[in-house]
């Protein structure tokens, strides 16, 4: 199962968490308390060096690494020199992202290309590249082609489920929000004469999503109702991904415009997703989109990527409000993420079949037999009171682990600590 939020988001993330914005407003409003997840950060950093990596691609990834892997390394490089292995991965992942941006939109995984755009924008900000640098020009060309595609679909990606795994899995609202977030991210992090146009595009998409998807929803199990963003047309149930992706977008648009409507809406959506809360200490929220795909027998389903994006949304809420309840809740979500750590092996994740078939103790990775390796990392989900296991449809994804590293870095930056 793909882990992309695509708003699925994602999310758009700030480049200068502790700096003043162009309008002179302090961001964040006030510093967060120190991060308490240093041990998890160190463990996941060690884990990340054991992930399969080839030609700029994390092979256990399910689509998110062109953003989160590249951005995590770029932000760390901005804080100081990287170890040689990490520096090499940064350069290789950046090179691959450039190739993805230049490729045909309808050939291969479009979602991965959108993530590459977010990753390159993060690199541009971290490296302090000029607004007319080759990387910015490449992003401009990609977004121009993407806008023609999205505009041709009416600026809301309903009706394309058969052609897009992301829209099918996460819904038109979340994926359209991701596109808006790319524009918002550009407006925030890139300084050139296109900034205003990208902000206008983000606000246009936000209005289209609101017109199509904001409605009264209910949790299918508890019956609790809330006004929030629907998964897509014809859906009346509340889901986590569309609402978290819209929190990200609304919070980012408030940061860019200071229009109080966006801040009020992001706070209201936080209230709406409380209908999905499964536990408080640690804080874990249900991921209804995944229940059927994973064969859940109860409401107790939470995917790692959805919890990562939730924690990030809470941090953006803290960033624009300074309210401790949001940073506290983000920390409790990270506590829940920390409990998702478990064992996995290459042969349990790579399911391609080599010819000849790999023997015992071997795994087929990139269509070549290699020695099986077993490692530890954050697993893909918790379900029905247990952690993911090898019999589930998905056990592990490197993109989710790179997400978590990025999220922890973001939390640290809110406290004025090194990413």
Closest CA to 229 of 269, 283, 287, 170: 269
- Helix then strand then coil, in percent of the chain rounded to 5, is 55, 15, 35
**Residues 329 and 273: beta-carbon distance below 8 Å:** no
Q: Is residue 73 part of a domain?
A: yes
**In terms of residue numbers, what domain contains 322?**
5-340+379-414
In-domain check, residue 345: no
| Residue 353 within any structural domain of the chain | no
Q: pLDDT by residue (tens digit) across 378-410?
A: 999 999 999 999 999 999 999 999 999 999 999
Question: Does residue 419 carry a pLDDT above 70?
Answer: yes
Check residue 16 and give its pLDDT: 38
Residue 4 pLDDT greater than 60, yes or no: no
Burial class (CB in 10 A: 0-12, 13-18, 19+), 374: exposed
**pLDDT tops 60 at residue 12:** no
Beta bridge partners of 23: none
Among 47, 3, 38, smallest CA distance to 377 is for: 47
State residue 371 phi and psi, 5-degree precision. -60, 130
Tally of structural domains, the chain: 1
3-class DSSP assignment, residue 357 = coil
Q: Which residue has the higher pLDDT, 210 or 226?
A: 210
Least confident piece of the model among 141-150, 217-226, 241-250: 217-226
| Cα–Cα distance measured from residue 402 to residue 297, given in angstroms and rounded to the nearest whole number | 29
Tell me whether residue 135 is in a domain.
yes
Stated pTM of the model? 0.92
DSSP labels for 380-415?
SEEETTEE--TTSS--B-HHHHHHHHHHHHHHHHHT
Instruction: Write out pLDDT tens, residues 244-296.
Output: 999 999 999 999 999 999 999 999 999 999 999 999 999 999 999 999 889 99
Tokens of 13: 């993330």
Distance CA 298, CA 110 (A): 33
Burial status of residue 193 (CB atoms within 10 A of its CB: 0-12, 13-18, 19 or more): exposed
In a domain, 307, yes or no: yes
CA distance to 29, 127, 180, 332, per residue, from 135 (Å): 31, 11, 20, 37
Helix (H), strand (E) at residue 68 = helix 65-79
In the structure encoding, which two tokens stand for residue 189, read together? 């992090």
pLDDT digit string, tens, across residues 180-208: 999 999 999 999 999 999 999 999 999 99
Q: Which two tokens stand for residue 122?
A: 């993060």
Asked whether residue 407 is domain-assigned, the answer is yes
Residue 360 counted as domain residue:
no
Q: pLDDT class for 8, splitting at 50, 70, 90? A: very low
What is the secondary structure of 175-214 as a DSSP string?
Answer: HHHHHHHHHHHHHHH--STTHHHHHHHHHHHHHHHHHHHE
Would you call 20 exposed, middle or buried from its count of C-beta atoms within 10 A (0-12, 13-18, 19+)? exposed
CATH classification of the domain holding 109: 1.50.10.20
Q: Which two tokens stand for residue 374?
A: 């077993």
Handedness of CA 257, 260, 266, 269 (dihedral sign): negative
Residue 183: CB partners within 8 Å, gap ≥ 6?
143, 198, 199, 201, 202, 205
Q: Is residue 374 part of a domain?
A: no
Q: What is the C-alpha to C-alpha distance for residues 104 and 84, in angstroms, rounded to an integer? A: 33
Distance CA 259, CA 222 (A): 34
Contact indicator for 121, 189 with CB cutoff of 8 Å: yes
């Amino acid at each position: 199962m793909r882990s992309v939020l695509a708003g699925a988001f994602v999310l758009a993330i700030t480049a200068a968490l502790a700096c003043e914005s162009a309008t002179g407003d302090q961001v964040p409003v006030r510093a967060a308390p120190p991060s308490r997840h240093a041990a998890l950060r160190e463990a996941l950093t060690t884990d990340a060096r054991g992930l399969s990596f080839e030609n700029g691609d994390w092979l256990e990834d399910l689509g998110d690494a062109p953003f989160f892997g590249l951005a995590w390394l770029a932000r760390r490089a901005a804080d100081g020199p990287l170890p040689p292995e990490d520096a090499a991965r940064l350069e290789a992942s950046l090179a691959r992202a450039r190739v993805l941006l230049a490729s045909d939109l309808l050939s291969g995984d479009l979602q991965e290309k959108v993530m590459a755009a977010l990753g390159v924008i993060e690199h541009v900000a971290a490296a302090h590249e000029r607004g007319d640098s080759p990387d910015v020009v490449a992003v401009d060309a990609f977004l121009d082609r993407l806008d023609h595609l999205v505009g041709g679909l009416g600026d809301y990606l309903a009706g394309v489920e058969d052609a897009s795994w992301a829209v099918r899995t996460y819904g038109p609202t979340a994926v359209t929000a991701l596109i808006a977030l790319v524009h918002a991210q550009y407006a925030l992090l890139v300084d050139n004469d296109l900034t205003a146009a990208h902000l206008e595009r983000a606000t246009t998409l936000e209005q289209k999503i609101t017109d199509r998807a904001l409605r009264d929803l209910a949790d299918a199990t508890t019956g609790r109702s809330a006004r929030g963003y629907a998964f897509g047309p014809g859906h009346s149930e509340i889901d986590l991904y569309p609402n978290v992706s819209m929190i990200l977008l609304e919070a980012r648009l408030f940061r860019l415009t200071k229009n109080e409507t966006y801040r009020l809406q992001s706070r209201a959506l936080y209230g709406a997703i409380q209908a999905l809360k499964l536990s408080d200490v640690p804080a874990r929220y249900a991921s209804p989109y995944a229940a059927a795909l994973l064969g859940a027998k109860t409401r107790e389903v939470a995917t790692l990527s959805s919890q990562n994006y939730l924690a990030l949304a809470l941090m953006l809420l803290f960033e624009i409000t300074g309210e401790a309840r949001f940073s506290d809740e983000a920390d409790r979500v990270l506590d829940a993420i920390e409990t998702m750590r478990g064992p996995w092996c290459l042969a349990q994740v790579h399911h391609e079949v080599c010819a000849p078939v790999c023997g015992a103790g071997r795994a087929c990775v990139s269509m070549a037999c290699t020695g099986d390796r077993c490692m530890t990392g954050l697993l893909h989900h918790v379900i029905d009171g247990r952690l993911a296991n090898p019999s589930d449809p998905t056990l592990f994804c490197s993109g989710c682990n790179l997400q978590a590293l990025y999220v922890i870095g973001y939390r640290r930056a809110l406290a004025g600590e090194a990413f």
